Structure 1
Amino acid sequence: MSEAGDPVRARIRAGDRAAFSEVYDAYARAVYNHAYRLTGDWSTAEEVMADTFLDAWRTREQLDPDGGSLKPWLLGMATNKARNANRGLGRRLAFLARRPAPDPVADFADETAGRVDDARRLAAVRQVYGRLRRGEREVLALCVWSGLDYAQAAEALGVPVGTVRSRLSRARERLRRLTDERLGEQRGTYTAKGEEPGRRRGEVEGEAAFAALRLKEIQEGPR
């Protein structure tokens, strides 16, 4: 689908359902994935995606007639929807953090040590991601995982480009620090017990969901 600005935007503003269907086909997956990264829940992400496109259609006449990709416009709406969906997230995280962990299981497969280490780091990222500030989570999701550049992310969030840059820098640094701290806590706990860390209930599912986090890009930034 061509995104070369005026024609597509003009058709959508005029209520062209075929044009809007093209937009949906082009960006539904991106909106859904973005919503999941911000909410951490598949069903909530589906609701956010549906609400995003519903509002996009309802407010189509407010769409800027000039511009390029419609992705920042849609992800900006999805970000706001996810903010509302995340109300109460802190209480849920606090409850989960109080749940006792099951007994760890020793790892006897030396040849899988590298993969286990990667899995532990992914799991640690999953555990600490919610501790980032909302703005930090949003800018990571937009710039790192959704592939927006600084200007597009600024458009999606309605903030200056400099704010996006500073938030992204802080987000990477905090996520790296919190992940390292979490891994250190785990090593200390299991060392004291003379055991190796195993998987918590639901960890396999969590690791699969966060396998696309692109840890190297988070920590090193765009090249």
Structure 2
Amino acid sequence: MDHQQFAELYDAHARAVYAHAVRMTGDRAGAEDIVSLTFLEAWRLRDTFDRVTGSRAWLLGVATNVVRNTRRAARRHRDALARLPPPDPVPDPADAVVSRLTDTDRATAALAVLGRLRHADREVLVLSVWSGLSHDEVARVCGVKVGTVRSRLSRARARARARLRVLTAAQLAQHPSPTAGKGNP
């Protein structure tokens, strides 16, 4: 059977195979899948096609076998899933969102503080704290002595802490705690 003959076979019997699949499965969407699988299997088995039996009967036989195989596969899949251990509890996504918001607020505050530092202090602080370089490595990158790195880092940390305190106080003033002023510690 060549491509043209198979296309004619499909055109002549696709509706009958679909109706048969709907009756067998009781599911229109599932029947569409059965029709697709039936014609794929029919193409694979086209050399076994017996013209004496008739194309409609042959295709309905293929469709019936596809339905059986699909049901067996679904049962095996359900059984395999039933043997799996129960899944671990899933964390509440709201917690992750709140955490990200808090992290975003912190990152925004840190960037605001960094933006207010002198360039040399910011450079040393970023290389040392965020990039994890040693004092010797920072000195090489910046082209300064290790003692200069230490003093810049000390100054940058002190200024960053002071600016962060001011920024945090301003944020708290804008967004007071719900328990503030109610006698709660």
> Which category of TM-score, normalised to the shorter sequence, fits these structures?
0.3 to 0.5
Larger radius of gyration: 2
Higher relative contact order (CA closer than 8 Å, sequence separation 6+): 1
Q: Which TM-score applies when normalising by structure 2?
A: 0.39
Q: Which TM-score applies when normalising by structure 1?
A: 0.33
